Every structure is written in structure tokens, then in C-alpha cells.
């Protein structure tokens, strides 16, 4: 963004080198990261609740994540094309509007009490969030010096983690409010979901109106190669490797969060009720939030690739502990993975986009396509949980982090991550 920064004197720059005119815009964009983090993490509460209501297997309950993150796979490239044609701001407004409609379909599903309608609502909701991801992530990436892009995206992702930290508490308060003292779900239907999703629908609609009227800085998003996205992968090896990294990271992070409540309910682990287990899920996501604030500072000092490799290796070690230990040690080991997840998504994202220039928008679309890992990896873990055991199924995210450690090592000398 040198072309933009040259128009600002040093007095017009913040301490981090970001033009002051971008500062207010970053505050508004940070709100988006918070809201989609909140919505995404509510799935971790939905899964055990709907599993109990509809007597689902682990594999069947993972259809929640399959439909939610499957939207990223089907809609990311169309969303990238739309953002390149209309611009980031219009993409954000449309994304918020579609997500609001998805929440209203959720309410319909709760009234009809049909699992298939819930899955449809999740797909619509995730389509809106896909548009937000494709619009907001590259917007933050180019809103300031390239050298601090990973740090800047990590900071906004910290507020995404704030949303994921609060969601389990709010979700448990509303969704598990009808639970008996022994953790048995006394609700025979999904009516407990109406209140939370009505509130989210209204919030999203108000945010859409806000982003329609506020004045965001115009940032170039030229892209002349929209029809050949996979040629871009072939031409840029690091984008291709990073796409696999995003697939596996999102898959691992989502999979762990999806199974935590049921895992903590095992007698060999903690024997917790769903309502009590939900607060520990908040610690998993809260660890990611704390780690992101720390990581935003650390990666101004150290090469982003080295930090990524270290964090991924720590996640591997903790998940190995989950596989071989029981009781509180196994419970706290899986919770601690959240701290090391902290910088992974924004760091892989920024390292993958490095050097793409005016193809950054399209590269972002491809990376968001890879978020489909959140649909497929939990489904695979669900199959293993059904066929072998829930505890053994954590070998799947362990393998995912192994690849991410290698990707970080591959990029160990890449300090500039814009």
C-alpha cells in the first residue's frame, strides 16, 4: 500500500505506520471479526444440543459443521468474484444481510423442529459469513504497511476470538437453560434456539445498515485473472502450500471445539454436564484470544514462520497428551491447544498472500475456499469417534498440526508477511 501511504505525512500516521484515516475503519472491521467469531462458535453449543434432541450419532451431528463450512467451499470463489466487481464495502453489506436471513431461517427451523431445516439455515448463515471473510480479511491485510500485515490481522483476529470466547457462555445460558441437575436435556425440541438467533438476526441487520452508510476508504481490488484461480495456485507455490495449511488448521480448530463438550462429558475425563462443559469450551477459545494479543506483539520481533512452527509443534505435543492421558490432564491438554491456535489462521493467511500484488483479492478467495476443512475434518473425526472411540479420534487434528509445523518451518525466514 505504498501508493496510499505516500500521501500521508508522518504526522498523519499512527505508531504502527497505519494512516490515521484507516484507524476508524479498522474499528468497524473489528466488529465484524467479533460477530462472525461469536456465530461460528455457537455451533460448538448447537452440536451437543441437537445431538441430544434428535438422537444423532457423532457423524450425523458433524453435519452441522459440514453444512456451515461447506458454504465456504461452494461460495468463496463466487464471493471473491463479487467483491472484485463491487468492492469490499458492498461485499460486507451483502454478507451481513445474507447472514441475517440465515438466522431468521434458524427460527423457522426451531418452530418446525426439523434437523434438515437447521442445516439449510446454517448454510445460508455461513454464505453471508463467507462474504464477510473474503471482504474483511484482505481489507485489513492491505490497510497499512505490508511488513506489519500479519500483526495487524492477528490483532483483528483477537476480537474474533473475543466473540468465540463469549459465545459458549451466552449459548449455554439460553440453549442449556432447560437442562436437569444431572446434565440431562429436558427440552424435547429446539425452541431454546429462537431467542439467541433472533437477537443475532437483528444485530446483523443493524450492522448491514451501518456499513451501508459509513465512509470506508477506497482500496484497490483489481484482479484480471478471475477465471483461472487454480493457475494462480500453480504459479505461486506458497499460496498452494498455505491453502492446504488453512484447510487443515480450520479443520483441526473446528473439530476440537466441536467435540469438547462431549469429550468433557466422558467419565474417564471429567464427567461434566453439557452446561458445565460449555464454560471450559470458552477457555479453549479464550486462550486463542490471549495468544493473539501476545502474538501480534511477538511477530513484530520474530519471523512469523518460526512462531507458526513453534505453536503447531506445541499443539501436536498437547494432542498426544490427550490421546494417552485421562482425567483432568487430558481435559486441560485439549483446552491448552487454544492458546497455540492463536496466531495460526492470520499467520498462514498472510504468509500465503505474500508477493501476490494485485492478485491478493483472488488469493484471499482461494484461501477462504480452503476453510472447507472445517466441514470435512470434523466429519472424519466423527467417523473415527463412532467406529473407534471419541478420545482416539483426536489423532486427526494432531496430524493436521504436524503439517502446519512443516509449513511454518518452510517459511521460517519470511518476516515480511503482507
Tally of residues, the chain: 418
pLDDT at 400: 98
pTM of the model: 0.81
Check if the beta carbon of residue 106 is closer than 8 Å to that of residue 119.
no
Check if the beta carbon of residue 283 is closer than 8 Å to that of residue 386.
no
Contacts of 133 (CB under 8 A, 6+ apart): 36, 72, 76, 79, 368, 371
Structure confidence by residue, pLDDT tens digits, 208-266: 999 888 877 666 555 444 446 677 787 888 899 999 999 999 999 999 999 999 999 99
What is the residue whose three cell numbers read 441475517? 100
DSSP 3-state assignment of 250? helix
- pLDDT, tens digit only, all 418 positions of the chain: 333 333 333 334 444 444 555 667 778 888 888 998 899 899 999 999 899 888 999 999 999 999 999 988 898 778 878 888 888 888 899 999 999 999 999 999 988 888 999 999 999 999 999 898 888 877 776 666 666 666 677 678 778 878 888 998 888 888 876 554 344 444 556 788 888 899 999 999 999 999 888 877 666 555 444 446 677 787 888 899 999 999 999 999 999 999 999 999 999 999 998 888 988 999 998 888 888 778 878 888 888 899 999 999 999 999 999 999 999 999 999 999 999 998 898 899 889 988 787 777 778 778 878 888 999 999 999 999 999 999 999 999 999 999 999 999 988 876 544 3
Contacts of 10 (CB under 8 A, 6+ apart): none
CATH topology classification for 19-410: Growth Hormone; Chain: A; (1.20.1250)
Check if the beta carbon of residue 402 is closer than 8 Å to that of residue 312.
yes
pLDDT at 359: 79
pLDDT at 10: 35
The whole-angstrom separation of Cα 347 and Cα 315 is: 16
How many other C-beta atoms lie within 10 A of the C-beta of residue 240? 16
Report which secondary-structure segment, H or E, holds 186: none
Check if the beta carbon of residue 320 is closer than 8 Å to that of residue 330.
no
Contacts of 304 (CB under 8 A, 6+ apart): 150, 343, 347, 350, 351, 411, 414, 415, 417
Structure confidence by residue, pLDDT tens digits, 316-329: 999 999 999 999 99
Greatest extent of the chain over all pairs of C-alpha atoms, in Å:
64
The whole-angstrom separation of Cα 161 and Cα 172 is: 17
How many other C-beta atoms lie within 10 A of the C-beta of residue 285? 27
The whole-angstrom separation of Cα 56 and Cα 50 is: 8
What is the residue whose three cell numbers read 484507516? 22
Report which secondary-structure segment, H or E, holds 140: helix 115-142
Amino acid at each position: 500500500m505504498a501508493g496510499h501511504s505516500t500521501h500521508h505525512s508522518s504526522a498523519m500516521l499512527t505508531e504502527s505506520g497505519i494512516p490515521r484515516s484507516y484507524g476508524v475503519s479498522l474499528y468497524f472491521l473489528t466488529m465484524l471479526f467479533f460477530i462472525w467469531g461469536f456465530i461460528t462458535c455457537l455451533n460448538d453449543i448447537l452440536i451437543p444440543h441437537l445431538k441430544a434432541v434428535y438422537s444423532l450419532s457423532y457423524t450425523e451431528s458433524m453435519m452441522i459443521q459440514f453444512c456451515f463450512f461447506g458454504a465456504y467451499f461452494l461460495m468463496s470463489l463466487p464471493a471473491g468474484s463479487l467483491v472484485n466487481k463491487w468492492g469490499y464495502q458492498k461485499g460486507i453489506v451483502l454478507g451481513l444481510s445474507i447472514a441475517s436471513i440465515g438466522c431468521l431461517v434458524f427460527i423457522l427451523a426451531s418452530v418446525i423442529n426439523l434437523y434438515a431445516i437447521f442445516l439449510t439455515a446454517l448454510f445460508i448463515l455461513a454464505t453471508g459469513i463467507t462474504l464477510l471473510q473474503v471482504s474483511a480479511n484482505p481489507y485489513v491485510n492491505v490497510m497499512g504497511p505490508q511488513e506489519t500485515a500479519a500483526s495487524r490481522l492477528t490483532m483483528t483476529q483477537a476480537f474474533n476470538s473475543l466473540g468465540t470466547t463469549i459465545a459458549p457462555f451466552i449459548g449455554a445460558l439460553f440453549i442449556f437453560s432447560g437442562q436437569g441437575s444431572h446434565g440431562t436435556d429436558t427440552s424435547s425440541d429446539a425452541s431454546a434456539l429462537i431467542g439467541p438467533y433472533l437477537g443475532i438476526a437483528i444485530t446483523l441487520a443493524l450492522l448491514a445498515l451501518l456499513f451501508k452508510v459509513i465512509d470506508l476508504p477506497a482500496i484497490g481490488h483489481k484482479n484480471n485473472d478471475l477465471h483461472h484461480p487454480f493457475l494462480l495456485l500453480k504459479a505461486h507455490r506458497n499460496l498452494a502450500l498455505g491453502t492446504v495449511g488453512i484447510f487443515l488448521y480450520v479443520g483441526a480448530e473446528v473439530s476440537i471445539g466441536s467435540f469438547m463438550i462431549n469429550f468433557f462429558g466422558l467419565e474417564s475425563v471429567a464427567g461434566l454436564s453439557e452446561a458445565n462443559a460449555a464454560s471450559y469450551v470458552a477457555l479453549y477459545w479464550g486462550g486463542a484470544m490471549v495468544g493473539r494479543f501476545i502474538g501480534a506483539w511477538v511477530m513484530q520481533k520474530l519471523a512469523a514462520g518460526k512462531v507458526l512452527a513453534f505453536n503447531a509443534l506445541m499443539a501436536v505435543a498437547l494432542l498426544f497428551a490427550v490421546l494417552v492421558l485421562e482425567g483432568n490432564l487430558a481435559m486441560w491438554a485439549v483446552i491448552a491447544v487454544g492458546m497455540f491456535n492463536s496466531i495460526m489462521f492470520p499467520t498462514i493467511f498472510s504468509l500465503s498472500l505474500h508477493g501476490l500484488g494485485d492478485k491478493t483479492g483472488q488469493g484471499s478467495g482461494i484461501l477462504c475456499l480452503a476453510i472447507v476443512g472445517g466441514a470435512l475434518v470434523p466429519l472424519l473425526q466423527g467417523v473415527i469417534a463412532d467406529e473407534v472411540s471419541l478420545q482416539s479420534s483426536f489423532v486427526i487434528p494432531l496430524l493436521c498440526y504436524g503439517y502446519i509445523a512443516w509449513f511454518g518451518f518452510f517459511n521460517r525466514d519470511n518476516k515480511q508477511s503482507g
